[in-house]
């Protein structure tokens, strides 16, 4: 009977199954699936945990990277524009040993980097040694190269120092090496502070003004064909340097080794004899020592005097023989300046220059500063230094000295570091009060009077005052025909705020350049043969002040 129930009776369409047996099989299958699913969950948890551990490890490594000494503080200008910043960048390299298809790889790379030299890249691939394809790769190109999926392409994350303005502040900011150590400029002098603080580091410089001054210096290079130039703009009261430029400069982002001496910082590192700009100090020392006043008369001044084996003469044969002390400075008389210096005397004059900070190495915010050459004082040295020869110093120290002369006689120290000046207190007075007033008035006349040497700097509305200086360069103790032309200016003369000095290194006269006189006559002059500061540096300084004057008038 049981056998019959197990049969399938087709005729009557009857089916008969043993349900107990099938139910037992189902239970066994379900248990197997549950067991496999449990094993899968365990494997998933282990894998996920391992993945999270690796990811967390990478994050911790990155945190360690960020918090170590490789990250440096951001450097800002006085308007909070970024001058230097540490960022995480990617470098992309290629390991030729892992390249599967060289031709395919080159084709793909050409699409991403069309401007690269692929003949050179192909040579590197054939050498079978790892090489960098692109350092500090952009995000756009990184995404494209990542999509290639080529295992021969290697990524390296690195902390890099970025300088958004390129070369604009190269002589101020300086450089760092591949180990992130400061090796010059602010980066070196404040290396510890930049490494140890998360706060930004603010400088006194103004990016907009720096750009405008550099632009004009570069424009005039083609006019006067000089080998180098420099300019410094500084506040006469607190010493804040608003702009400091030395050309030629270099791109900080390239981290190049600079061996050419022409790239020297001409503001703080190069030593010059500045010529007639020193006559201002001779005149001021005479007023300080009360051996002259503005109207002291000098009668029958010689055209030439002998000092030791050498002669000192006037640069202008038409200069009058009878002049007041003020007229000597206005006309830039050599012999008259010598006579004033002789009245002051060796000890008083050398002490005066030292008091202004011209003779000793200056304490500054970068290490690239020069030590002025030692001076063996005597009667002839007094005579030559009275009109600006035989004494070396830096443009930075010249700016400091002109600030003291013009600000009422107060000590001032040039600085690149922005400080809180809300509680500003003037430094000690080192010159008599009336000295500044009298000198400023005379310097103003050098610009406004026809017999002065700086007429091209008479920019309407800014009360420019200043003194020119033309000096032959001394190479290994021998004077050569190459010149250094300088114009030291202050403005506004009635209440000075700024000292602005421009230097042109080895300029040449331009016989095709057209000068526009600023005396209201619109007179134009072409064909100058005179390679003096009055016809070169003053013209450059005048053009610069026209550009930066409106900014200074509204912001400072």
Find the CATH number of the domain harbouring 118.
3.90.1310.10
Last residue of a domain, which of 154, 183, 202?
A: 202
pLDDT (0 to 100) of residue 44: 61
Both tokens of residue 148? 């290639």
Q: Which of 131-135, 265-269, 497-501 has the lowest mean pLDDT?
A: 131-135
Q: Please tell me the distance from the alpha carbon of residue 246 to that of residue 227, in angstroms, as a whole number.
A: 11
Answer yes or no: is 64 within a domain: no
Q: Is the pLDDT of residue 56 over 50?
A: no
- Does 215 lie in the same domain as 195? no
Phi then psi dihedrals of residue 240, to 5 deg: -65, 125
Q: 3-class SS at 466? A: strand
Least confident of 46-60, 336-350, 428-442: 46-60
Q: Give the whole-angstrom CA distance, residue 191 versus residue 176.
A: 9
What's the rounded Cα separation, in Å, for the pair 504 and 260?
18
Please report whether residue 69 resides in a domain.
Answer: no
Does the residue 62 lie in any domain? no
Question: Is 472's pLDDT higher than 60?
Answer: yes
Query: Does some domain include residue 63?
Result: no
Chain segment 174-185, per-residue pLDDT in tens: 999 888 899 999
Of 155-169, 289-303, 352-366, the range with the lowest mean pLDDT is 155-169
**Residue 234 burial class via C-beta count within 10 angstroms: exposed 0-12, middle 13-18, buried 19 and up:** buried
Q: Are residues 110 and 146 in the same domain?
A: yes
The domain of 113 spans 75-202
Last residue of one domain, picked from the residues 148, 171, 202:
202
Q: For 312-355, what is each residue's pLDDT tens digit?
A: 999 888 899 999 999 999 999 999 999 999 999 999 999 999 99
User: Pairing relation of β-strands 75-76 and 201-202?
Assistant: parallel
The whole-number pLDDT of residue 49 equals 56
Q: How high is the pLDDT of residue 213?
A: 98
Model-wide pTM > 0.85: no
163 and 263: one domain? no
Q: Give start and end residues of each alpha helix (H) in 113-154.
A: 118-126, 139-146
Instruction: Check pLDDT > 50 for residue 66.
Output: no
130 and 268 together in one domain: no
Residue 292 CB contacts under 8 Å (≥ 6 apart), including other chains: 283, 286, 325, 340, 343
What is the secondary structure of 254-309 as a DSSP string?
G------GGGS-TTTT--B--GGGGHHHHHHHHHHTTS--TT-EE-S--SEEEETT
299 and 435, same structural domain? yes
Where a domain ends, among 154, 169, 202?
202
Query: CB-side exposure of 524: number of CA atoms within 13 Å?
Result: 4
Main-chain dihedrals φ then ψ at residue 483, nearest 5 degrees = -120, 160
Do 215 and 316 lie in one domain? The reply is: yes
Are 45 and 185 in a shared domain? no
Domain count along the chain: 3
Q: Are residues 160 and 217 in the same domain?
A: no
Query: Is residue 70 in a domain?
Result: no
Per-residue pLDDT, averaged over 371-398, amounts to 96
Residues 96 and 35 in one domain: no
Do 142 and 14 sit in the same domain of this protein? no
Q: Do 318 and 400 reside in the same domain of the chain?
A: yes
Copy the structure tokens of residue 550. Answer: 């409106």
User: Can you tell me the mean pLDDT for 80-86?
Assistant: 96
Examine residue 67 and state whether it is found in any structural domain, yes or no: no
């Amino acid at each position: 009977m049981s056998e019959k129930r197990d049969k399938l009776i087709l005729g009557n369409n009857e089916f008969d199954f043993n349900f107990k047996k099938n139910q037992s099989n189902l239970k066994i299958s379900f248990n197997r699936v549950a067991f496999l699913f449990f094993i899968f969950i365990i494997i998933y948890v282990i894998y996920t945990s391992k993945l999270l551990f690796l990811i967390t490890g990478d994050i911790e490594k990155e945190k360690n990277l960020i918090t170590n000494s490789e990250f440096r503080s951001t450097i800002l200008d006085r308007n909070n524009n970024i001058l230097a910043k540490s960022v995480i960048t990617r470098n992309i390299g290629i390991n030729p040993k892992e390249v599967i298809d060289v031709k395919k790889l080159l084709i793909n790379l050409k699409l991403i980097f069309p401007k690269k030299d692929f003949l050179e890249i192909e040579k590197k691939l054939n050498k079978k040694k790892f090489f960098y394809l692109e350092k500090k790769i952009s995000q756009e190109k990184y995404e494209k190269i990542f999509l290639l999926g080529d295992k021969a392409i290697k990524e390296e994350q690195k902390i890099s120092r970025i300088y958004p303005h390129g070369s604009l502040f190269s002589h101020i900011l300086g450089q760092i090496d591949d180990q992130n150590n400061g090796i010059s400029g602010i980066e070196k002098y404040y290396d510890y502070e930049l490494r140890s603080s998360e706060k930004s580091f603010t400088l006194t410089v103004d990016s907009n003004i720096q750009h405008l001054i550099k632009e004009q210096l570069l424009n005039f290079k083609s006019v006067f064909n000089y080998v180098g130039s420099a300019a410094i703009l500084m506040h006469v009261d607190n010493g804040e340097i608003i702009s400091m430029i030395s050309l030629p400069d270099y791109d900080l982002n390239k981290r190049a080794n600079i061996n050419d001496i022409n790239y020297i910082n001409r503001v703080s590192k190069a030593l010059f004899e500045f010529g007639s700009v020193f006559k201002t100090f001779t005149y001021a020392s005479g007023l300080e020592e009360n051996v002259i006043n503005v109207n002291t008369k000098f009668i029958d001044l010689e055209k030439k005097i002998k000092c030791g084996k050498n002669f000192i003469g006037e640069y202008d044969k038409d200069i009058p023989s009878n002049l007041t002390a003020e007229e000597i400075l206005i006309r830039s008389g050599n012999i008259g300046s010598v006579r004033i210096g002789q009245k002051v005397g060796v000890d008083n004059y050398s002490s005066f220059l030292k008091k202004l900070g011209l003779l000793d190495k200056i304490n500054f915010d970068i290490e690239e500063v020069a030590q002025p050459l030692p001076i063996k004082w005597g009667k002839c040295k007094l005579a030559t230094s009275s009109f600006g020869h035989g004494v070396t110093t830096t443009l930075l120290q010249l700016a400091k000295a002109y600030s003291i002369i013009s600000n009422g006689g107060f000590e001032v120290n040039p600085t690149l570091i922005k400080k809180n000046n809300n509680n500003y207190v003037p430094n000690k007075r080192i010159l008599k009060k009336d000295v500044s007033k009298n000198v400023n008035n005379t310097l103003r006349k050098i610009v406004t009077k026809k017999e002065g040497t700086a007429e091209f700097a008479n920019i309407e509305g800014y009360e420019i005052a200043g003194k020119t200086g033309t000096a032959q360069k001394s190479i290994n103790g021998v004077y050569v025909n190459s010149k250094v032309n300088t114009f030291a200016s202050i403005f506004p003369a009635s209440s000075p705020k700024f000292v602005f000095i421009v230097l042109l290194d080895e300029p040449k006269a331009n016989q095709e350049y057209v000068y526009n006189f600023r005396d209201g006559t619109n007179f134009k002059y072409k064909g100058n043969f005179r390679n003096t500061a009055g016809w070169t540096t003053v013209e450059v300084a005048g053009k610069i002040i026209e550009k930066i004057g409106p900014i200074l008038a509204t912001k400072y």
